[in-house]
Amino acid sequence: MRISDDLDIDESEIEERFIRASGPGGQHVNKTESAVQLRFDLAGNTSLPEAAKRRLVRLAGSRMTKEGGLVIRADTHRERERNRAAARDRLRRLIEQALIAPKPRKKARPSLASIKRVKAAKGQKSQTKSLRRKPGAED
């Protein structure tokens, strides 16, 4: 399965099971297995970088199994092939999202002018409060 120009996922790492879809559909839905349950073996994958794997686990959330597999279920369409394509597309988009590294945070520092403003405001508030004290109650 092609993810990007320089990344392919081996088909042996993807397992598809066809199951019965839930919801409306009349008698047809009770006798056909049109929903797809796609399992991607993330623990056994060798083509994804480790950082991307960690991000993918975080993105997948409850869709991850204890064994390190990613389970995607697609049952929105009535046809098996459309559900299969939808599940594969969701997997591809999840992996693409995991490959994007977050921007590193730059430490910000307050400007000299803002520090002076804060200190001036603090001094003003201190003076206001000192005027509220009872006369002769100096410590």
Q: Tell whether pTM > 0.85.
A: no
Region 3-10 average pLDDT: 77
User: Would residue 127 count as lying in a domain?
Assistant: no
User: Would residue 84 count as lying in a domain?
Assistant: yes
User: Would residue 104 count as lying in a domain?
Assistant: no
User: Would residue 111 count as lying in a domain?
Assistant: no
Q: Give the model confidence (pLDDT) of 41-58 as tens digits.
A: 888 888 888 898 899 899
What is the pLDDT, as a whole number, of residue 8? 77
Read off the amino acid at residue 48.
L
User: Would residue 24 count as lying in a domain?
Assistant: yes
* Domain with 57 in it: 2-99
State yes or no: pLDDT of 4 exceeds 80: no
Work out how many domains the chain is built from and give that number: 1
The torsion angles phi and psi of 132, rounded to 5 degrees, stand at -80, -15
For 57, the token pair is 């686990």
User: Would residue 106 count as lying in a domain?
Assistant: no
What pLDDT band is residue 104 in, cutting at 50, 70 and 90? very high
State yes or no: pLDDT of 25 exceeds 70: no
What is the pLDDT, as a whole number, of residue 45? 83
Residue 61 Ramachandran class (φ > 0 left, ψ -120 to 50 alpha, else beta): left
CATH code of 24's domain: 3.30.160.20
For tokens 């430490």, the residue is 107
User: Would residue 137 count as lying in a domain?
Assistant: no
User: Would residue 105 count as lying in a domain?
Assistant: no
